[in-house]
């Protein structure tokens, strides 16, 4: 059997950008992207499917929102009073497709109803040996040497979304000529928001369908700095 090695990837999206030009010391920008990315770069374990299997890309994020605000505080006076600037950045993105378990058959949709999804129960992880209260289950283990017919990633289940923010205050003090000293106080992740990786997708694991609460981003961090511009 010969496999077709001509993989491909496609991206389509809609981008909306709103900009507020600077006036009264305030400037801002808001960006939203709605997109879909698909690829055919992997093969099913199926001799009847020699071409790469088309699926959602592992980095597909349907929604992506960013905003930034810059405000020059309208203080007037000597060099020590004026020159204050406040900045705010924010980003939110929906999760990437959750990886489908290997060697399985999905009986029903594993997506949980709205409001039931938690870190300890990210999707329906019921099996024949661990059924739901109604006696049904979502997963079966494939027999040995069975063809794979399931996609590589869920279409209806996503890993956790991510969000980032940063707040900073600058003090710009002009010196002689075109020289300037800038004092900077910056706080990253000011709301101390955490985001996590995807759920465990090993069907034989006791953690199947659960997300380990290991923080993937940095906790709240502040820093002071000084810049000399000339």
More confident residue, 69 or 229: 69
What is the rounded distance in angstroms from the CA atom of residue 165 to the CA atom of residue 193? 9
Tokens of 183: 């004092």
Question: Rounded CA gap, 183 and 187, in Å?
Answer: 14
Helices (H) and strands (E) in the chain, counts: 0, 12
Q: Are 37 and 10 in contact (CB under 8 A)?
A: yes
Q: What is the pLDDT of residue 51?
A: 75
Helices (H), 66-198: none
For the chain, the first-to-last Cα distance in angstroms comes to 66
Q: Which residue has the higher pLDDT, 175 or 207?
A: 207
| Whole-number pLDDT of residue 169 | 97
Q: What is the DSSP letter of 209?
A: T
Residues 135-153: pLDDT tens digits?
777 887 777 666 666 778 8
Residue 55's pLDDT is what? Answer: 86
Give the mean pLDDT of 32-61. Answer: 83
Tokens read off for 203:
């069907």
Element (H, E) at 12: strand 8-23
Region 129-140: mean pLDDT is 79
With cut-offs at 50, 70 and 90, classify the pLDDT of residue 155. Answer: confident
Q: Between 68 and 129, where is the model more confident?
A: 68
* Sign of the CA dihedral running 202, 204, 209, 211: negative
| Residue 48 reports pLDDT greater than 70 | no
Q: Select the more confidently predicted residue: 130 or 164.
A: 164
Residues 84-109 have pLDDT tens digits of 999 999 999 999 999 888 767 666 67
């Amino acid at each position: 059997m010969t496999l077709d090695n001509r993989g491909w990837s496609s991206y389509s999206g809609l981008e909306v950008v709103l900009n507020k030009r600077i006036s009264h010391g305030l400037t801002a920008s808001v960006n939203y992207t709605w997109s879909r990315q698909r690829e055919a770069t992997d093969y099913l374990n199926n001799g009847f499917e020699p071409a790469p299997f088309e699926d959602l890309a592992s980095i597909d994020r349907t929604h992506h929102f960013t905003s930034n605000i810059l405000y020059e505080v309208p203080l007037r006076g000597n060099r020590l009073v004026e020159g204050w600037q406040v900045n705010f950045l924010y980003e939110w993105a929906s999760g990437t497709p959750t990886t489908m378990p290997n060697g399985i058959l999905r009986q029903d949709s594993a997506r949980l109803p709205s409001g039931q999804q938690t870190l300890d129960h990210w999707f329906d992880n019921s099996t024949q040996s661990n059924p739901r209260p109604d006696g049904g289950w979502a997963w079966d283990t494939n027999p040995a040497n069975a063809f794979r017919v399931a996609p590589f990633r869920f279409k209806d289940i996503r890993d956790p979304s991510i969000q980032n923010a940063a707040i900073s205050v600058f003090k710009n003090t002009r010196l002689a000529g075109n020289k300037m000293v800038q004092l900077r106080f910056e706080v990253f992740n000011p709301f101390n928001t955490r985001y996590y990786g995807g759920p465990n997708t090993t069907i034989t694991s006791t953690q199947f369908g659960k997300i380990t609460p290991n923080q993937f981003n940095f906790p709240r961090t502040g820093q002071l700095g000084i810049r000399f511009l000339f």
